[in-house]
Amino acid sequence: MSKTIRYGILCEDRAHRNFIEYYLGQCHPGLFEESQPFSWAIRASNAREVEDSIPDATRKGFTNYGLDLLFIGRDTDSTDSKKIDVLKSKLSSLCSGHPKVVFMMPVQCIEHWLLYLQWHKANPTSTKNESFEQIMRIEAKQRVYGGKLKVDKQLELANELLVNLDVDWLEQRSTSFKHFHQQVKAFVS
């Protein structure tokens, strides 16, 4: 694929957006370009606002803003696979199963993906397959950030973990990340 893929992001918070930007920049350098007009027009700041905005974001994103791809980031807020499947189905129906929508749905919260990366950074040669997705959200955030911090400081710490994102390693550890990564790979190919 030689043309630039114009994308939009609808997500809960800056941590999701930050993850997507690092991921795209490292996995597909120069291939993706974010639509700034879409980003200014379609926004959300929590899970409910994401869900409420999905139909509009899908319709307007592809017709008014000329998106090639729409990323929707939503924490699952659960570890229960049945609840997560119900949420995936609900979100997919809100965008009418649009084939150019990619869902980024970490188990519980985005900090669980960061927790995996933090562990990998501290144990780069380990082949042990640690599971972090059962750790409660509050504890995961505490482990990643070391306490309650302002968003800019959280992003700074997250960026340190995302600098050399080992996608293959993370894909082997986190089913929810694998689901996201496979969607992007399928779209690109």
Adjacency order of strands within the sheet including 101-104: 32-34, 5-11, 69-73, 101-104
Query: Look-up: residue for tokens 């974010």?
Result: 34
Q: Which two tokens stand for residue 1?
A: 């694929």
- Which residues have a Cβ under 8 Å from the Cβ of 173 and sit 6 or more positions away? 116, 120, 129, 130, 131
137 closest CA partner among 145, 125, 126, 129: 145
* Section 6-13 average pLDDT: 95
pLDDT at 1 over 60: no
The predicted structure's pLDDT at residue 185? 95
**What is the arithmetic mean of pLDDT over 155-163?**
94
pLDDT of 153: 92
Q: What percent of the chain has pLDDT over 90?
A: 80
- Give the pLDDT confidence of 20-35 residue by residue, as tens digits: 999 999 999 999 999 9
Taking the C-alpha atoms of residue 139 and residue 128, their distance in angstroms, rounded to an integer, is 21
Residue 2 pLDDT: 55
Sign of CA dihedral 112, 116, 118, 119: positive
Tens digits of per-residue pLDDT, 103-112? 999 998 999 9
Tokens matching residue 128? 């042990």
- Widest Cα–Cα separation across the chain: 48
Quick check: helix, strand or coil at residue 33?
Answer: strand
Q: What percent of the chain has pLDDT over 70?
A: 99
pLDDT for residue 113 is more than 70:
yes
